[in-house]
Structures are given as structure tokens and as C-alpha cells.
Structure 1
Amino acid sequence: MKKFAYEFFCGTRAYCPPEVNVKGRYHAKPMTVWSLGVLLFKMVCGYYPTDLDLHLISEKNWTRPELSRECCQMICACLEPEPQQRLNLEKMRLHDWFKVLE
């Protein structure tokens, strides 16, 4: 991974973080967290996040009654639009969602 920003996105558009479209560049770790958030969303919801979902997430107002609070929080932390505020890749495994036992 480079320490400086990538300027060319090469990958699946559905997994593309917003900073690519807004700034035309991205850093590998926050982009990876975004991609994992999209993948988690798809796995638990059955569809890719829509513009409405992403808007609600950015407004801190997204939830699904069939998902645990911790799962919704994990998705929201991964899909935070601002890369600097997004969940840290190294801290993902420490999230409360991984501690929930049902």
C-alpha cells in the first residue's frame, strides 16, 4: 500500500468510496473499510446500499429492525462518508458487533 493517495480507481464501482467521486483520489485503508462495509451491507440486507441508505447513514439515521444494533453501528461506521471519520481498519475486529452472542 502506498502512503500517499491513489488517483485511479480500479475495482468494482459498487464498492467505490465517495472520496473517489468527490476528490478523485483515495487512500487504501479507508477505502478497504468502505468496501468491507458495502460487502457486509449486501450480505445482511440482500442488496447493495441505495442512495437513500447512504444518505441515512451519513445523517446517522440508518437502522434495520431485523439487524442487531451492533451490526447497524458497524455498517454505519464502515460507510461513514468522511474517510478520516470512518472506522479504522485496525480497529474493526474490536467492534462490539464481533462480541455479540445470540
Structure 2
Amino acid sequence: MWNHNYYIYITTNYDKSILYIGVTNDLSRRLYEHKENKGTGKSFTGRYYCYYLVYYEHFTNIEHAIDREKEIKKWRREKKDALIKSINPDWRFLNDEMNQE
């Protein structure tokens, strides 16, 4: 049986004023891509320097991951902040931890 890995994730800019919610099957690669686009107008994350990982969830089913991403995207900022604080109260940047996995 195949072991599928999907992630929903939230990145922010250095000042933690902008949030980006995404879904991917390779979180380390996706974070690298976001960082490579920094300062460019090619993407939202590049334009706003949103490549600092502050939250993620793991799924084995892509439909569940996409549904969760859509759910979180509809939330108000306060609810997204509370979600992040529930597992990352200090809003530490988790990029290095993710790249070690």
C-alpha cells in the first residue's frame, strides 16, 4: 500500500502580518520554492515574503487536505491566529525543523 503524504501549511512574512495557506505533497520542497520567489511578483508568497512556516498539518488523503485548506482559508484572521498559537504559541519559524524531517 502506498504511503501518501499531504500537508496544509501556513506561512507568514518576517513581521507576521500576512498569512498564506497552501497544500502540498512535499512541504520542504514547497517552502524552498516560496523562498526562491521572495521579492518577485511571480506569486503571492514572493510578493509578500511569506515563506516562514508557522503551522502545518499532515494528511494521507489529498481530498481531506484540500477540504481543510479551503476551510481554513474561509476563517477570519483571529481564528487563524488562534489555530497557529494552539501548536506554536510563540509563532516560531518552523522551516528548519521541517527541513530536518
The verdict on a shared fold, with TM-score over 0.5 as the criterion, is no
Structure with a larger share of its residues in strand: 2
- TM-score norm. by structure 1 comes to 0.30
Q: Choose between structure 1 and 2 for higher RCO, CA contacts under 8 A separated by at least 6 residues.
A: 2
